[in-house]
Structure 1
């Protein structure tokens, strides 16, 4: 769960809001290729090198020239996420490859990772996207089935958790909490792509926007571990959690999924680990961070495995490195559980600073080559 989310607005409202925002200026094209869009983010601007580009594969060359950490999104007009890159530090650069059909989009920069972002209207032009490798179509179909299965399997686990909350059984609710989140954590980028579900289900207290109600798993986590009590409000929130997860279950099969969104989603899952799990911020009350950590890695590895045959042809060295780094990180995680099939991980408050540093280094070692997977998948 990222700290904050883009709020959901209608397409009309999004365009109206964009025209009212100051600091959105078009940057002259640098001639770096029709399919490369340079995005320069500052604390009050979001400059793009071009506002039209051919449909198909587009690469964002992002540079953060501001003083704040930023995020950059490509959005559909209704705020669904095409692709994103989070946690772009001041003075750093990132490159993100995405697949877009002809149509209208927005590029948004979020300095400080707050609010709706500074937005630019852009357009992908041309006819249909070139036919992709049939193996990639198969990978997308398999991944779509995977995310639906994860949602289907999550619901009964979440219902067990909610039932314990509604029964006022503190210990049973604690026991059911972490297992109820595994499927969500494996496929979180797909859930987040809708924009409106994640803020209801997985928001943390420090990620609340002005006026936003604290709901979902982490609100109940706080009640169970910090407040140590279940009241009428928590029982109502348990029902709301199930309603929101049922909404996710119904919608996840209709998500926009492409080979590049799978690859970028794998990288996003590692970013989730780096910014929430390794730091202990995600599960700050229950300290079940390593369960989420493992689920994020599993989800990333699933996307990678499905894309691997094509990526290996295009960049064999990258695949070799990814194989090694996934294996190393999984071996490292195995140190913190009784056996390789169990999700009974060490409570994260028992993991010392040196061990957290080792986990962080393992995540970073995998995240760097994983950021190159999308480009390898679409390489000619």
Structure 2
């Protein structure tokens, strides 16, 4: 779960209303290319250089002129994410390439990385479909099949976990917890394509939005994780939440076939996931009670690498140097993670509270070394 995500609203505001959101202003026409939209983020504004741009491959040229770390999103009207770039520090610039169909969208800047963000209504014009290399269509189809397989395989493991909770079996629930999450963590590159499932099943307590009450609004794995490891007990509320987790995961399983997945969302999602690893898994914040962070960590890397592997043939032709670097950094990170294996199963890793400060720094450096070239993958596959 990426920290402090944009919440999904049950009834999306109309584009006309969003255009009037305080702080969203339009800059003069500009940009450094037909498909480039400049986004200037401050602590109280989200300025865009164009409110209309041709459908197809669009590049956001983002500059954070505020004092807070920010995030920038392209959103569908119902708040599903087209693409995003998180953890944009003050005074820094980033670029992100996305594929958009004709229609209405919102560009959102989120100073402080909390709340719904400051929004700007935009439109992608033209009725022609995006022209893709046929290999990219095959990559998307193969990736969707991979995600569906992960969802299908997750459900019985999650049901085993939920049954242990509902039976009040604390030790069995602890044992089943990490395996139940692997398939979900592998699909995190496109988690936000599933609408509101992510904040339902994978939010941490400090990831709740302002105004949400942990006692009533916090659901999913991490709520149960806290009960099992910190509280050391299973009550009626936890048994109820275990059932709700299965309901939400069944919903996720059905949504996979309908999710908007594109080559650029695969590439950008993999990069954002590595950023999440750097800011959450490496710090020990994700699994703060169970200390099973390395299980999630490895699954995240596997999911990101799957996206990359499917896009690699096209990226190889367009940017062979980038592919060589990505191959090197994925291999290095996987080799480093394998040092922490404590058994043969995919969930047998050293508890993260046993990993020292120097070792965590080494892991962080390896993640960052991979995340930088991975940020260029989306541009490489659409050249």
Q: Normalization by structure 1: what TM-score?
A: 0.97
The aligned residue for residue 211 of structure 1 is 212
Asked if residue 287 in structure 1 is aligned to residue 288 in structure 2, the reply is no
Q: What CA distance in whole angstroms lies between the structure 2 residues aligned with 1:117 and 1:159?
A: 36
What SS does structure 2 have at the residue aligned with 1:178?
A: helix
Q: What CA distance in whole angstroms lies between the structure 1 residues aligned with 2:109 and 2:263?
A: 23
Encode CA deviations 1:73-113: one digit per residue, 9 max, x unaligned: 00111111100111111111111000011111110001111
The answer (yes or no) to whether the contact 2:73–2:82 under 8 Å persists in 1 is yes
Asked if residue 46 in structure 1 is aligned to residue 46 in structure 2, the reply is yes
The answer (yes or no) to whether the contact 1:170–1:228 under 8 Å persists in 2 is yes
Aligned counterpart in structure 2 of residue 358 of structure 1, from 347, 357, 362? 362
Counting only pairs closer than 5 Å after superposition, residues 169-188 of structure 1 correspond to structure 2 as 169-188=169-188
Residue 193 of structure 1, CA deviation: 2.4
What SS does structure 2 have at the residue aligned with 1:107?
A: strand
The answer (yes or no) to whether the contact 1:53–1:123 under 8 Å persists in 2 is yes
Encode CA deviations 1:294-329: one digit per residue, 9 max, x unaligned: 000000000000000000000000000000000000
Q: What CA distance in whole angstroms lies between the structure 2 residues aligned with 1:100 and 1:316?
A: 26
What SS does structure 2 have at the residue aligned with 1:61?
A: strand
Residue 131 of structure 1, CA deviation: 2.4
Encode CA deviations 1:243-278: one digit per residue, 9 max, x unaligned: 011111111121001111110111121012011100
Aligned counterpart in structure 1 of residue 309 of structure 2, from 305, 308, 316? 305
The answer (yes or no) to whether the contact 1:110–1:118 under 8 Å persists in 2 is yes
The aligned residue for residue 104 of structure 2 is 104
**Structure 1: any 5+ residue segments left out of the alignment?**
none
Q: What CA distance in whole angstroms lies between the structure 2 residues aligned with 1:118 and 1:355?
A: 38
The aligned residue for residue 372 of structure 2 is 368
Q: What CA distance in whole angstroms lies between the structure 1 residues aligned with 2:65 and 2:29?
A: 18
Aligned counterpart in structure 1 of residue 226 of structure 2, from 216, 222, 226? 222
Asked if residue 124 in structure 1 is aligned to residue 124 in structure 2, the reply is yes
What SS does structure 2 have at the residue aligned with 1:236?
A: helix
Stretch of structure 1 that moved more, 1-10 or 109-118: 1-10
Residue 14 of structure 1, CA deviation: 4.6
Residue 16 of structure 1, CA deviation: 5.8
The aligned residue for residue 268 of structure 2 is 264
Q: What CA distance in whole angstroms lies between the structure 2 residues aligned with 1:282 and 1:107?
A: 28
Encode CA deviations 1:327-369: one digit per residue, 9 max, x unaligned: 0000000010035654200000000000000000000000000
Q: What CA distance in whole angstroms lies between the structure 1 residues aligned with 2:43 and 2:302?
A: 35
Q: What CA distance in whole angstroms lies between the structure 2 residues aligned with 1:55 and 1:76?
A: 14
What SS does structure 1 have at the residue aligned with 2:13?
A: helix
The answer (yes or no) to whether the contact 2:37–2:60 under 8 Å persists in 1 is yes
Q: What CA distance in whole angstroms lies between the structure 1 residues aligned with 2:68 and 2:283?
A: 19
Stretch of structure 1 that moved more, 122-131 or 85-94: 122-131
The number of residues matched between the two structures is: 379
Stretch of structure 1 that moved more, 87-96 or 215-224: 87-96
The answer (yes or no) to whether the contact 1:328–1:362 under 8 Å persists in 2 is yes
Stretch of structure 1 that moved more, 11-20 or 152-161: 11-20
Residue 12 of structure 1, CA deviation: 5.2
